[in-house]
A and B are shown apart, each in its own frame.
Chain A
Amino acid sequence: MKNTIAERVVDFLKNHPPFSMLNNENLFTIAQNVEILYFEAETYIFKKGQKVADTFYVVKDGAVGVYADDGKTLVDKCDEGDIFGLRALIRKDFYQLDAIAMEESIVYGVGAAFLETILENNEDAQNFVLTSFATYGYEVQASLDAANRVNMAEDITHDALMAKYSKNPVTCLASHSVQHAAQLMTENRVGSIVVTFQNMPIGIITDKDLRSKIATGKYTILEKVDKIMSSPVICFHEQITVAEAQVKMLNHGISHICITTDGTSQTQLIGVLSEHDIIVIHGNNPAALIKETCRANQVEQLAFIRTKITNLLADYLKQGLSMNYITQIISEMNDSICKRAIVLSLKEMETPPPVSFAWIALGSMGRGEQLLPTDQDNALIFENVSDDIYDKTKAYFVNLAQKVSKKLLAVGFEYCPAEMMASNSKWCLSLEQWRQQFEYWIKTPTPDNVMLCTIFFDYNLVFGNPQLVSSLTQHINFIVSGFDTFLQFLAKNAVQNPPPLGFFRNFLLEAEGGHKNQFDIKARALMPLTDAARLLSLANKIHGLRGTILRYKKLAEIEPQNAAIYNSCASAFKTLLRFRAQYGLNNQMHGRYIDLQKLSKSDKLKLRSAFSPIKEIQSLIEVRYMLARLI
């Protein structure tokens, strides 16, 4: 039956999430059952303590404020298209907040039951509602991660892909000893070696042969390789598809195929295709990528792997894997690239390092939160040496660090504009110098020093001697525990960026500079959460936990009374990090500055929903450190 009003309600709702995610039929059902409510300015839609209605609300015209603390704190300003009162959907109890019409408003009341049934079959809308509900801070710890499901669609196009084999395979002669072959394999970090005669493959030895024929004592390591090699080898020409390779391997029960010029064993060997290579092609295998990294001998290879990591990130985001998992994997891979760059640089040095050292990543990389490559922040700690050789030792490491930095640049990690890099002689110091440096920062907490602390405190060992790092950590804890006021300065720093909550649609935008009128998600949203986590972890003597998410999780354990806040911070951080990575990927940049005009309303709301916990955590810090007195 015709219902002009319902049609008009549909017209309105369909432009606003979550309704925009519903089909017309569902929308019409909802619209037909909508209550249209009129509120004068300054009248209550609902009051705290009132029994929850069975409808939630959508602002049609006007603006509605949602208040906490008996109307003193504006939690959320809802205007056209915004939803509120979602408690109706989720819990049947009493309202926790006040909703007041800030101006004359028309509000649609939507039956919660109607939406509930529709949400069950619509994951997008469900996620949206969950995120919106989290707008009210820690009322519900609805982590999007939990709602997301892994969706691993088999990519059938892979079957038609050409298999990418390893060129320049490691080879030896039939007359070589098994020991020699094993040494070659180890040096080249490969799991197989092809035995050749005039560069034609006559046999192959794999890790498995060494295990089953040598380690068992069947043969000695001085035996000639032809005694233990598998022969003949299975060959194929270089136009081999993944499917062909897989079939061949299955048929012959082998894990390696030799690639020769014409596909027979009577021609020149040009490469080896291993099962592992196929796994790499199937991609999405971080272990394979890390292995590839450890074998890379050229910066170009590392750069290529770095782009693969970005692809992997895109896949992971698409699959909706948990942010916890994503950050761990991606940072692990970033670290392995960094490690490899150090190893390659060490090889270029004329002499081995004079003393042991530790390469540490700082800032977001140190926290393991750098999903898209931005700039490199790192530092170097070397073992204490006597004064007479200090300069010489330092020069060695600065030189090394310069090589590493250059490689990282080639891989895609920009130089840090503030030169917080080990290649800067200021940040390439002996353990003792570092101790003094931190002591100075902590005891002289000028704003600049506090800022440096925030960057340097998030260090993480990438390569080298772990004892140097743990010794430094101990020292820092010792100084901090004896100098409580430092935490106050850190606290002051942590709340200096107020949440970008603002009024609706008035995200705090950059007022000047190259990113004018863009939203700085790093400074406005991620950093306040990170800073707070760092401060509170330091205060609680939580060490060795990498990353903001883990820090909040630990904090929630230690202070169960504030667990709700900490958990909502962790959730918000995940949402923001995911958002930044996704935005960066979509726009081919690092995602720091967000052009709000490019965002859908749903994305804007998602983003905004992550802001409330910032406010919560900052007021917790303000109270705890009595910042009012300090400021």
Chain B
Amino acid sequence: MILHWFKKKYPDFWEIYAGSFNHQEHNDIDNERFVVFDTETTGLHFATDRILSLGAIGVIGNRIDVSKSLELYLHQEKYNNETAKIHGILKLGHLDKVSEQEAVKAFLSFAKNAVLVAHHIDFDVAIINSALHRMKLPPLKNKICDTGVLYKRTLDIAPDNKHYGLDELCNIYNISKHDRHTALGDAYIAALVFMKVLSALKKKYPQLALNDLFLPRRRQGLI
């Protein structure tokens, strides 16, 4: 606690974000707020690539509130022609765009202390963390869940090294692949996957608790 006095002074938005964790009550799974999100990026190197767009929606229980969703497109200094084929975001597109700082700020105030959920979340968290790093801010404080990992836990025999892509899970869960590769579209798909995986897990483990969902801390940032 004493260390608190020596802590660097961070901008207000960070303090508010960090402050939301102070009184965190750990709810049960049904009442916990999850924020499912996805980032579209210029590439797969979280240190050097940049976020092109970010989509996030809140899930509480079995509920997605469309009016409370976040969809951001970022100004780019760095642009990779190769990935444009996938996400379709042009460097000078017609969408309203924000700066990286603004995007991170909006994301933090949207996410607050919610549990973050994404498909292969390590990468998404890492790329946001490196943006935070550029802003001289500490990494994300949220608990995180990975839909890919959770899915594997629904299987009786999980193949160790197999990675389940979002497309694959769409097929398995019969989810339409509309808007695949837009950030909010992928976030929405991941949210559906998350709700379906969660209900499968609850069936398999009736005692399932919120803590069981989290990805171990030590894995964060590893890809």
Given contacts A3-B184, A4-B71, A4-B188, contact A35 B65 (CB under 8 A): yes
Q: Which of B134-193 contact A (CB under 8 A)?
A: 174, 178-179, 182, 184-185, 188, 192
Q: What is the minimal beta-carbon distance from A103 to any residue of chain B, in angstroms?
A: 11
Q: Which of B55-63, B124-132, B207-215 contacts A (4 or more CB under 8 A)?
A: B55-63
- CB-defined contacts of B196 to chain A, threshold 8 Å: 38, 104
A8 within 8 A of B: yes
Among B64, B69, B73, max chain A CB count under 10 A is at: B64
Q: How many residues of A contact B (CB 8 A)?
A: 23
Verify B63–A36 contact, CB threshold 8 A. yes
A313 within 8 A of B: no
B31 within 8 A of A: no
- CB-defined contacts of A8 to chain B, threshold 8 Å: 178-179, 185, 188
Closest to A40 in B: B199
A312 within 8 A of B: no
Verify A32–B184 contact, CB threshold 8 A. no
Among B63, B66, B178, B185, max chain A CB count under 10 A is at: B66
A2 within 8 A of B: yes
Verify B63–A35 contact, CB threshold 8 A. yes
A39 within 8 A of B: yes
- CB-defined contacts of B174 to chain A, threshold 8 Å: 61
B67 within 8 A of A: yes
A1 within 8 A of B: yes
Given contacts A4-B185, A8-B185, contact A32 B71 (CB under 8 A): no
B12 within 8 A of A: no
Among A31, A39, A40, A61, max chain B CB count under 10 A is at: A40
- CB-defined contacts of A11 to chain B, threshold 8 Å: 178
B195 within 8 A of A: yes
- CB-defined contacts of B188 to chain A, threshold 8 Å: 4-5, 8
B96 within 8 A of A: yes
- CB-defined contacts of A9 to chain B, threshold 8 Å: 66
Q: How many residues of B contact A (CB 8 A)?
A: 24
Q: What is the minimal beta-carbon distance from A105 to any residue of chain B, in angstroms?
A: 10
State which of A2, A33, A39, A61 has its C-beta within 8 Å of the C-beta of B66.
A33
Verify A33–B64 contact, CB threshold 8 A. no
Verify B63–A34 contact, CB threshold 8 A. no
Task: Please report the C-alpha to C-alpha distance between residue A37 and residue B60 in the assembled complex, in whole angstroms.
Answer: 10
A6 within 8 A of B: yes
Given contacts A38-B192, A104-B196, contact A4 B182 (CB under 8 A): yes
Verify A37–B62 contact, CB threshold 8 A. yes
Verify A2–B95 contact, CB threshold 8 A. yes
Task: Please report the C-alpha to C-alpha distance between residue A9 and residue B73 in the assembled complex, in whole angstroms.
Answer: 21
Q: What is the minimal beta-carbon distance from B176 to any residue of chain A, in angstroms?
A: 8
Given contacts A4-B184, A4-B185, A5-B185, contact A38 B71 (CB under 8 A): no
A106 within 8 A of B: yes
Verify A4–B65 contact, CB threshold 8 A. no
- CB-defined contacts of A2 to chain B, threshold 8 Å: 71, 73, 95-96
Verify A6–B96 contact, CB threshold 8 A. no
- CB-defined contacts of A35 to chain B, threshold 8 Å: 63-66
Verify A1–B96 contact, CB threshold 8 A. yes
- CB-defined contacts of B95 to chain A, threshold 8 Å: 2
Q: Which of A24-74 contact B (CB under 8 A)?
A: 31-40, 61
- CB-defined contacts of B182 to chain A, threshold 8 Å: 4
Q: What is the minimal beta-carbon distance from A461 to any residue of chain B, in angstroms?
A: 63
Task: Please report the C-alpha to C-alpha distance between residue A5 and residue B57 in the assembled complex, in whole angstroms.
Answer: 10
Q: What is the minimal beta-carbon distance from A71 to any residue of chain B, in angstroms?
A: 20
Task: Please report the C-alpha to C-alpha distance between residue A31 and residue B69 in the assembled complex, in whole angstroms.
Answer: 12
Verify B179–A36 contact, CB threshold 8 A. no
Given contacts A1-B96, A4-B185, A38-B195, contact A31 B62 (CB under 8 A): no
Q: What is the minimal beta-carbon distance from A37 to any residue of chain B, in angstroms?
A: 5
- CB-defined contacts of A33 to chain B, threshold 8 Å: 66-67
Verify A36–B66 contact, CB threshold 8 A. yes
- CB-defined contacts of B73 to chain A, threshold 8 Å: 2
Verify B66–A32 contact, CB threshold 8 A. yes
Q: Which of A441-488 contact B (CB under 8 A)?
A: none
- CB-defined contacts of A5 to chain B, threshold 8 Å: 57, 64, 66, 69, 179, 184-185, 188
- CB-defined contacts of B63 to chain A, threshold 8 Å: 35-38, 109
Task: Please report the C-alpha to C-alpha distance between residue A3 and residue B195 in the assembled complex, in whole angstroms.
Answer: 21
Verify A106–B192 contact, CB threshold 8 A. yes
Closest to A33 in B: B67
Among A1, A4, A31, max chain B CB count under 10 A is at: A4
Task: Please report the C-alpha to C-alpha distance between residue A101 and residue B221 in the assembled complex, in whole angstroms.
Answer: 39
Bitwise, B49-91 to A at CB < 8 A (1) or not (0) is 0000001010000111111010101000000000000000000
Task: Please report the C-alpha to C-alpha distance between residue A39 and residue B64 in the assembled complex, in whole angstroms.
Answer: 12
Task: Please report the C-alpha to C-alpha distance between residue A55 and residue B71 in the assembled complex, in whole angstroms.
Answer: 25
Task: Please report the C-alpha to C-alpha distance between residue A1 and residue B98 in the assembled complex, in whole angstroms.
Answer: 12
Q: Which of A387-418 contact B (CB under 8 A)?
A: none
Verify A4–B179 contact, CB threshold 8 A. yes
Verify B66–A3 contact, CB threshold 8 A. yes
Verify B185–A38 contact, CB threshold 8 A. no
Q: List 21 A-B contacts (CB under 8 A).
A: A2-B96, A3-B66, A3-B71, A3-B184, A4-B71, A5-B64, A5-B184, A6-B66, A8-B188, A34-B67, A36-B64, A36-B65, A37-B64, A38-B62, A38-B195, A38-B199, A39-B62, A104-B196, A104-B199, A106-B192, A109-B63
- Could you list which residues of chain A lie within 8 angstroms of chain B, going by C-beta atoms? 1-6, 8-9, 11, 31-40, 61, 104, 106, 109
- Could you list which residues of chain B lie within 8 angstroms of chain A, going by C-beta atoms? 55, 57, 62-67, 69, 71, 73, 95-96, 174, 178-179, 182, 184-185, 188, 192, 195-196, 199
> Can you add 5 more A-B contacts, CB < 8 Å, to A1-B96, A9-B66, A31-B66?
A2-B95, A3-B66, A35-B66, A38-B196, A104-B196
| 5 nearest CB pairs, A to B | A36-B64, A4-B184, A38-B195, A38-B62, A40-B199
